[in-house]
Structures are given as structure tokens and as C-alpha cells.
Structure 1
Amino acid sequence: MISINTSENKKIYFASDQHLGAPTQEASFPREQKFVRWLDEIKMDAEAIFLLGDLFDFWFEYKTVVPKGFVRVLGKLAEIKDSGIPIYFFVGNHDLWMCDYFETELNIPVYHSPQEFTINGKSFLIGHGDGLGPHDKGYKRMKKVFTFKPFQWLFRWLHPDIGVRLGQYMSVKNKLISGDEDAKFLGEENEWLVQYCKKKLTERHYNYFVFGHRHLPLEIELQENSIYINLGDWIGYFTYGVFERSGFSLNGYK
């Protein structure tokens, strides 16, 4: 478990679901610029930054090739990390084929499952959020296929011009990128991540559960001193989380 203590006037920032590259590189370029501006602003008082997945709408790492584009956001992340600010990256369902590029090129650790952190003495469980909780068995089966090493090995034999274009096409066809099918609150009993968090609370206590994936900003009190937070997205909401000594808040960026 990683423990973080913030210095005076320093903050922990959280963001998720930028889906850069969707529906096209050109269409997402203003979102990339906006996200880079946000990163440039928060570096002034950031103790650490958590990126909770789907930064890219599609990502696949060949042995010597990564998808073209995104140099502004990659450069800004490199600048921030080189300045000494820790960045933690969690893969989402759209960039789950991330391997070691962030770790070797940017020195940013990459996580493929939820992780526990202690921040200023508060316990956090942090992750992207896909495939957690009950139901959604179709996606869980699909994820097992996509994370199956022999399948990734076979996909890697496609020429990058074919493989990346095919991956981008399949990703854009996924309605979750726009939140059209997933951006309405379903009630606590039907929110799978809420059910997942409640089950985790039967195993141990967490002060904060922080996830993305839902494309919907949410703050739900699960029990006393335990809150589930969903960060929303950078497609329609442009929301992000901030944790400081006074507590956790969701904010919008304009």
C-alpha cells in the first residue's frame, strides 16, 4: 500500500475518461488542449496526480510502435513527472492494452486493477471501475479475451496501420465513449460500482472509493465516513476530483 502525506497547501488531483482520439483525432484535439491546460494549472499545487483510465480511446503497444498522436498530453505528463510530482495511471477498458510505455518512457507506474492508498491517514480504493460488481457478464467475458496473452500476441502480428485502425473503429463503435447509454443515474441498487463498494466494505473499511468509467459525476455516501466517488468524464462534464486536508470535492473545469 502506498502512503501519501500532502504538504501544506498541496492537493491530490484525480481525472478520468478523456477518450482522446474519439471519435477522431481532429475532433478530440480541443479536448486534448483543454486537458493539457488543466494539467498545466494543477502542477502548481499538486502533491500527486491520479489518472483513472481511458485517457485514450484506443491504445495498443507494439514492441517498437505506439499509436500516433497525443504528443501534447504525453509531453505535459513527462514534464510534470520530471518536475518531481508523482503520477499514477490506471488502465481503463479502452486503453487496457497498455504495457510498459508509460513506465519506461515517462516513469509513470501503470496499474491494471484497483489499488489501495493511504492519503493523509485516509484509506482509498482507487481504480478505473470496468468489470467490477455484479452482472455485466458479457463485458467480463470480453475482457478476459482481450487480456488473454495469446490473443494480444496474435493482434500484434497485424501491421500497425491495420491494427490501430481496426482498434479505433471498434472503440468508437462502443457507445460508452459518449456516455449515451451509461450517463444516467440508475439508483444505488442498480449501480454496479456502488454494489462493488458496499461488498468491499464488508471486508474492510475505506474512507473513499474513487473510480471512473461511468462518465457520470457521482458522490454517494455508503456509510458513515465512507464515500463512493465517480469522476465523470472529459467529454461532456470536464470534471475532476481534488483531495486536500479539508476533504474530497468534485469540480468542473471550464
Structure 2
Amino acid sequence: MSIPEGKKVYFASDNHLGAPTPAQSLPREKKFVAWLDTIKKDAAALFLLGDLFDFWFEYSTVVPKGFTRTLGKLAEISDSGIPIYYFVGNHDLWMHGYFEDELNIPVFHGPQEFEMNGISFFVGHGDGLGPHDKGYKRMKKLFTNPVAKWFFRWLHPDIGVRLAQYFSVKNKLISGDDDAKFLGEEKEWLVQYAKRKLETRHYDYFVFGHRHLPLNIALNEKSKYLNLGDWIHYFTYAVFDGEALSLKEYKD
């Protein structure tokens, strides 16, 4: 991917729209949409690294109610020719066609490698990676099991979505909110994961979400790990100007 002069690539993650209630998340959604408006003028691409919604499940003909402002703005940006790349998180694992068909946004279900202006990136949501997250790894196997998804689809959306929203907000094991404290690099499992990846291949930047903590950590003299934080407490994002990647905070 070649980034034209004067253009930038933006990264954001973990909005959890709809939580803890639609009314309470609405101001955050409006703030996010306002940010999307500001980046349109110089964005070469936009990467959304998952958990845009606190819960998202696509039935054959139904998607969760709400988020009109966000979906409309993403459609506007995509229609203008700015590519958007979406990575599913642990709250929106069940994306299967809606973003691709309606918004022309490719959806990735695992980390991907990118090269921009000769600089290498390893990008993903971050859930289930590294030596930690064992409880979630077990739950993810259940959530992504085709038989379990088939049974869930037979629930009426009014029941299925409300039930999932309840557990999404209440279950700390799923949300990971109880882990949102920095306890040192040696306990940051995504840092450990990135260091292990570097043993076999070089990447200039590892970019993840999921941790809800804005972090910028040097892994060695040439590689860095960035966590995007969230749009609940920090309103942080990353921007690549064609040469370097940095974390920033949006203040409207």
C-alpha cells in the first residue's frame, strides 16, 4: 500500500457502541462520528480493529437495531473511495457479509500483515493471542462453533440480541474490562506475543485493540507495539503519516 504525500492512515478500536445502554453510548457514538468527519479530508485508509459494537450478530435477514449514525458515516467514507478495513473483535465475532455487501468494507477474522510505504505492520484485534486469555480462548471456541451459531440463529432476534447484550455487559471474562490496568511489559500478553513473532520475522509495528489501554512500547530498536486504547474512557487512535505511527487523543 502506497500512502500519497499529505495523506494518512488511521486506526481505531473498541467503541462498544450500545453499552451499557443505547442512551448512554449515544454521546460516545456522536463523538466517534465527529472524529470520522475530521479524518475524511486526509485519510488514505481507515482500519477499525474490532468491538465497534458491544454486540453484533448477523442473522440471515436481520442485524441489530441502532448505530445509524456510525453505519451511515462509514458508508459515506467508503463511497467516497477511502478504503476501510474491519477486524472482528470478541464482541462482534459473528460478522458474515453485511459490512461487505452494504458498506463495501472487507472484514477480517484474524490478524493480517500490511506494508505501507515499505513499513511493515501486523494488525488485529488482539483477542485470544499470547499466553494469557485462556478463559476467553475456551469461550471463543464455543462462540465460533457452527453448531452453536446454528442454534443461536433459531432464537428470535428480540430474545437472542437482548440475551447476548446482557451477558456482553455483565460478563467481565468476555469484555476484559477487569484487565484494563498496566502491570508491566512482562504481564502484557500481547507484548509477549509480539516478541515471539519477532523471533521468526521482523515487523515495524504491531497494532492491536482489545486491551482498552493506549500503549506505545518499544519491543526492540526497530519494532514497536501500539494498543489503540478505546472510545469509552480514552478516545484514542493511531495515525500513520507515511513514515511513523503515533497515538493521539481526540478532543472535540
Shorter-chain-normalised TM-score: which range? over 0.9
Residues 212-237 of structure 1: per-residue CA shift (max 9 Å, x gap): 00000000000111000000000000
Residue 42 of structure 1 corresponds to which residue in structure 2?
Answer: 39
Residue 182 of structure 2 corresponds to which residue in structure 1?
Answer: 185
Residue 80 of structure 1 corresponds to which residue in structure 2?
Answer: 77
Residue 54 of structure 2 corresponds to which residue in structure 1?
Answer: 57
Are 1:242 and 1:250, in contact at CA under 8 Å, matched by a contact in 2? yes
CA–CA separation in structure 2 for the residues paired with 1:174 and 1:180 = 9
Q: Does 1:69 align with 2:63?
A: no
Q: Does 1:134 align with 2:131?
A: yes
Instruction: Identify the match of residue 142 of structure 2 among 142, 145, 154.
Output: 145
The runs of 4+ residues in structure 1 deviating greater than 6 Å are: 176-179
Three-state SS of the structure 2 residue aligned to 1:130 is coil
Unaligned runs of 5+ in 2: none
Q: How does 1:1-254 map to 2 (within 5 A)?
A: 4-175=1-172, 180-254=177-251
Residues 175-218 of structure 1: per-residue CA shift (max 9 Å, x gap): 37887512211211111100100010011000000000000000
CA–CA separation in structure 2 for the residues paired with 1:174 and 1:234 = 19
Three-state SS of the structure 2 residue aligned to 1:235 is coil
Could you tell me which amino acid in structure 1 is paired with residue 45 of structure 2? A
CA–CA separation in structure 1 for the residues paired with 2:39 and 2:173 = 28
Cα deviation, residue 239, structure 1: 0.1
Cα deviation, residue 9, structure 1: 0.6
CA–CA separation in structure 2 for the residues paired with 1:149 and 1:180 = 27
Could you tell me which amino acid in structure 2 is paired with residue 242 of structure 1? V
Name the TM-score, length of structure 1 as normaliser: 0.96
Are 1:232 and 1:238, in contact at CA under 8 Å, matched by a contact in 2? yes
Residues 109-144 of structure 1: per-residue CA shift (max 9 Å, x gap): 000100000011000000000000003221101100
Bigger mean CA offset, 239-248 vs 59-68: 239-248
Alpha-carbon RMSD: 1.2
CA–CA separation in structure 1 for the residues paired with 2:64 and 2:194 = 34
Are 1:19 and 1:177, in contact at CA under 8 Å, matched by a contact in 2? no
Q: How many residues align?
A: 251
Name the TM-score, length of structure 2 as normaliser: 0.97
Summarize the Cα distance change of 1:131–1:178 in structure 2 as closer, same or farther, 3 Å threshold. Answer: closer
Three-state SS of the structure 2 residue aligned to 1:20 is coil
Cα deviation, residue 92, structure 1: 0.3
CA–CA separation in structure 2 for the residues paired with 1:178 and 1:168 = 11
Three-state SS of the structure 1 residue aligned to 2:38 is helix
CA–CA separation in structure 2 for the residues paired with 1:111 and 1:53 = 10
Unaligned runs of 5+ in 1: none
